[in-house]
Structure 1
Amino acid sequence: MKILITGSRGFIAKNLIVTLQQMENIDILTYDRNDDIEQLDIYTEVCDFVFHLAGVNRPQEVQEFMQGNYELTSGLLSSLKKNENRCPVLFASSTQALLDNKYGESKKAGENLLFEYSKETGAKVLIYRFPNVFGKWCRQNYNSVVATFCHNIAHGLPITVNDPSVMMNLVYIDDVLEELINALDGNENMINDFCEVPAVHTITLGEIVDLIYSFKNSREERSLPNMSNDFTKKLYSTYLSYLPEDQFSYDLKMNVDERGSFTEFIKTPDKGQVSVNISKPGITKGNHWHHTKNEKFLVVSGKGVIRFRRIGSNDVIEYYVNDSKLEVVDIPVGYIHNIENLGNKDMVTIMWANECFDPDKSDTFFLEV
């Protein structure tokens, strides 16, 4: 199947191309504004589907709106008619087409061209009025406030928010891609005359800014955003794609003493805390119990023993652990417990607790196993 993509260097197109490259029996034909217009005639003679994603939204001159959003569309459709190719055409329009501005007018004019073309030729036309699209590879300081804010905050640059109460409708690039592939397969989400991406997120500009700053602060706080919120999860992935390439890593605070070290890795408000415990050979750590706090231990390097004694009992239970067989040991409440390094090298244990450590309410009571 030969698929023509116009605007092939743009944000949506870049993501679409790498997605299509993972599919079988797809031949991708790309056209960009810098390409020779005659190349378009070659492609429209053989293509089986057109993703018309080319467009202009930040021109130097006002007349470029019509040149990029109307005249290119007109040229594409004329080329298809000349080659008697009635393959489906998907057009990336904008919700701005409903507004009274030069960009919206040019998109609306492109839509009208496509509707007329469909009536004349019988070709299938799919018009998507996209709201704000966000995700990886979107150019900052261009036409996406999310891209600009993610880039600037990740790079420690200032941002300007004129009205944090502005309500925004956004769609995530992966949701856009899913819908575009559905359309390619003939399963587009058609609502009356237009197509839509089903998953639209509505949120204020101020809330977006607060979220992005919280992502930046999460490194120092050793925290994770609320991944159960669909928009937060998508925005966090987007933010990470704008990290400076020399700042992918960050330090953790290691609490070191003669016994080894204890380092908090990740804290979440609802799913607890993950830490890394390193014990020197012969060292025993723990000897405490909890009322409600429960834990999971996973030894990933070295060997040792985890001992338990139920409150009120003298019986000691032992679980021997080592890195040749990764197994998780639950630490139930009401059991005094410790962990001893039985090897001749440092023992590394991943420890999860169901709640983050609170020094004012530690729920930790020291007692020998």
Structure 2
Amino acid sequence: MKILITGANGFVGKNLVSTLKNIKDGKDRTRNIDIEDIYSYDVDNTINDLKKYTGDCDFVFHLAGINRPKDISEFYQGNVTFTETLCSLLKEHNNKSPILISSSIQASKDNDYGKSKKEGEEYLLNHGKKMNSKVYIYRLANLFGKWCRPNYNSVTATWCYNVANGKDIQINDPNVELPLCYIDDVVDEFINALEGHPAACKEGIYEVTPVHYIKLGELADIIKSFKESRGTLSVPNMKEGSLEKKLYSTYLSYLPKDKFSYPLKMNIDQRGSFTEFIKTEEYGQVSVNVSKPGITKGQHWHHSKNEKFLVVSGKGLIQFRDIYSDEVIEYYVSGDKLEVIDIPTGYTHNIINIGETDMVTIMWANEKFDPEHPDTYYEEV
């Protein structure tokens, strides 16, 4: 297939082009599409480029449009006239390529932007009927994701950028509800359409799902929590498909180039160090333990808290004993052979560095440490 993308340098275009290139180059084998060429068209191209591309393209992603003009007439020039030009060139070549257009939920409203998008839709539908070409119209909600331009037309992009860069955000009415759609969901659905199995169509309009509805105040709180999480070490809700997971991925893309890293509090003493890394409400916490040669750590047991130890560097001995037994169970561990050791409840346990270098252990506990209820009781193995 030869695929034409108008508006290829825009927010949606960049994400779509990068995905199609991965498929074309064989880096993404999850899609069964044979792509010969990708024709990227944007404002830097000439009309002659468009004439050439429309001559033999097999599918058109029509993403070009105007949403922030200096003059109202630009709405109609960018969203209607250009669509007419695109269709006329396809007709000139007798090219019956399917066309997918990125429209807007504003198309159902009585404003110039919405009316111009609606006119573009209608012209495209008429073209499809005359040429017997498949037309996919997607009315998109408020989009967000990487490469979205802040301080332009996306409140999510603007707030992520501002919070990540230490700037204030403005909320006129925190109770206003906003429908949001994530760019990866959009691109995934567009590729489905390219493969010939788009989502359900309602009254001629195709949908990208899911659409997440959230109040502005809640959106602001979530984005602010991402910055605070570096101090609390908390991780957002990473459940597959959750809005918070998608927002966090978006937020990270707006971090300043010198702010990708952040320090952790290392609790250091003569035995080595202990550093908390990640904390979650649902899945406990992860810490990094460094023990110097000959050092024994632990010597305690838990009622309900359970842990997993993974030695990634050095050599160690992990010992267990049921507090109602004299039997000592031993496991030799090493960074040369990675294996996870489960720490059962009711067993006092320790970990001893038996090597000649520092021993580094990744430790997971099924709950965050609570100093008010530590569930940790000293007893030597």
CA drift of 1:337 comes to 0.6
2:27 maps to what in 1?
none
1:19 maps to what in 2?
19
Candidates 231, 234, 242, aligned match of 2:243: 231
* Separation (CA, whole Å) in 2 of partners of 1:363 and 1:186: 57
The list of structure 1 runs, each at least 4 consecutive aligned residues, that deviate by more than 3 angstroms after superposition, is: none
CA drift of 1:150 comes to 0.5
* Separation (CA, whole Å) in 2 of partners of 1:60 and 1:85: 34
Answer yes or no: is 1:64 the counterpart of 2:74: yes
CA drift of 1:5 comes to 0.4
Unaligned runs of 5+ in 1: none
Partner SS state of residue 22, structure 1: helix
Write the mapping of 1:65-84 to structure 2, written as runs, cut at 5 A.
Answer: 65-84=75-94
1:198 maps to what in 2?
209
The aligned amino acid for 1:225 is P
Candidates 22, 37, 57, aligned match of 1:47: 57
Aligned residues: 369
Answer yes or no: is 1:110 the counterpart of 2:120: yes
CA drift of 1:225 comes to 0.6
Partner SS state of residue 156, structure 1: coil
CA drift of 1:119 comes to 2.0
2:366 maps to what in 1?
354
Write the mapping of 1:207-356 to structure 2, written as runs, cut at 5 A.
Answer: 207-228=218-239, 230-356=242-368
* Separation (CA, whole Å) in 2 of partners of 1:316 and 1:18: 56
CA drift of 1:191 comes to 2.4
Partner SS state of residue 273, structure 1: strand
Partner SS state of residue 54, structure 2: helix
The aligned amino acid for 2:223 is I
* Separation (CA, whole Å) in 2 of partners of 1:113 and 1:239: 37
Candidates 127, 131, 135, aligned match of 2:145: 135
The RMSD of aligned alpha carbons is 1.0
2:173 maps to what in 1?
163
TM-score, length-scaled by structure 1: 0.98
CA drift of 1:9 comes to 0.7
Partner SS state of residue 310, structure 2: strand
1:6 maps to what in 2?
6
* Separation (CA, whole Å) in 2 of partners of 1:238 and 1:206: 18
* Separation (CA, whole Å) in 2 of partners of 1:345 and 1:126: 63
CA drift of 1:34 comes to 3.0
CA drift of 1:236 comes to 0.6
* Separation (CA, whole Å) in 2 of partners of 1:7 and 1:48: 17
TM-score, length-scaled by structure 2: 0.95
Partner SS state of residue 372, structure 2: coil
Partner SS state of residue 23, structure 2: coil
